[in-house]
Amino acid sequence: MKDANTRLVNYQNKGDNMVFRLPTSMLPWIGILMVVVCATFSAGCRMAARNHNCAGVNYFQSGQMTAAINEFQQALARDPQNADAYYNLGSAYYQLAKQTNNPQMVQQSEQLLRQAIALNERHVESHRTLAVLLSETGRSRYAFDLLNAWQRRNPYAADPLIELARLSDETGDVNRAGEYLADALRIDGYNPRALKAMGRVREQQGQLHLAMENYMRSYQRDNRQTDLAQHIQQLQVRLASANPQQPSWNGANTSSPLR
């Protein structure tokens, strides 16, 4: 039976990629997710790799990790330079390692994720998942080292800063998380992940009106975030109870700009 922590929580269609997002744990920080990518490849061996990869995604989604690993291994054999294939296989090994408490599989997962980064040093999902793996196996310092090195290599990218914020929040440094997110938003002021994460930081700091603004701006940029829409409504109830004059929020009405 599939572990409750690996249930499907979100689906996105990004151009030619189908992306399944699954949580690596029940940690409270918004956006701590694993992604299994089913990408569109060209003809020949890559088409065969795509078929195995997508079959692996289906098995992964249904919690059949052993079958998913078999498919991802076949995809990798047919396209050995594909970072997504390494990432998918590493993700499946890590989920199975957590289900079976197998440290050798954790090592295999780590090696595969590092290989994905070696092939594509901007691979966001591999950096995110490897940082989570390191943190969950008691190596938070190495997780910070990984993300800081990524940020130094990509000083104008928001994603490394968002992941540093996540890790800082997990380790109890909410203020530092806010600083990382402020830097990320200076780079990309419309990044929905950064806005959503900043909303969580503001909410933890008791700045509920600022949190609401960040959440709503995030939702405006990506209105597929059904979990965020629900959270906005819950926060609106809290704000309304404190201030009965506060207007209610309608998730369908998000077109007007925010200050």
CATH number, domain at 22?
A: 1.25.40.10
Q: Which of 104, 138, 172 is the last residue of a domain?
A: 138
Total structural domains in the chain?
2
- 28-42, 72-86, 137-151, 188-202: which has the minimum mean pLDDT? 28-42
Please tell me the predicted confidence (pLDDT) of residue 36: 53
Tell me the C-alpha distance between 103 and 54, whole Å: 27
Residue whose pair of structure tokens reads 């295999």 in the numeric block? 108
Please tell me the predicted confidence (pLDDT) of residue 156: 96
Average pLDDT, the chain: 81
- Mean pLDDT to the nearest integer, 152-181: 96
- pTM for the model: 0.75
**Residue 95 shares a structural domain with residue 49:** yes
Tokens of 71: 């498919």
Contact 196, 227 (CB under 8 A): no
Residue 18 backbone dihedrals phi, psi, to 5 degrees: -100, 125
Of 152, 154, 82, 155, the C-alpha closest to 115 is 82
In a domain, 258, yes or no: no
Tokens of 203: 């909410």
Query: Which strands form 17-23's sheet, in the order they lie side by side?
Result: 10-14, 17-23, 33-38
Tell me the C-alpha distance between 133 and 139, whole Å: 8
Residue 22 backbone dihedrals phi, psi, to 5 degrees: -130, 145
In a domain, 127, yes or no: yes
Tell me the C-alpha distance between 229 and 249, whole Å: 10
Q: For the chain, what is the radius of gyration of the CA atoms?
A: 19
Instruction: Say whether pLDDT at 31 is over 50.
Output: no
Instruction: Say whether pLDDT at 72 is over 50.
Output: yes
In the chain, the N- to C-terminal Cα span, in Å, equals: 47
Question: What would the DSSP string read from start to end of 61-77?
Answer: HTT-HHHHHHHHHHHHH
Instruction: Say whether pLDDT at 24 is over 50.
Output: no
Tell me the C-alpha distance between 82 and 38, whole Å: 12
**Residue 239 shares a structural domain with residue 197:** yes
Q: Which of 121, 138, 155 is the last residue of a domain?
A: 138
Of 157, 175, 245, 259, the C-alpha closest to 214 is 259
Of 208, 167, 201, 169, the C-alpha closest to 182 is 201
**Residue 91 shares a structural domain with residue 117:** yes
Please tell me the predicted confidence (pLDDT) of residue 216: 97
In a domain, 121, yes or no: yes
Structural domain containing residue 13: 1-138
**216: number of CA atoms within 13 Å, CB side?**
22
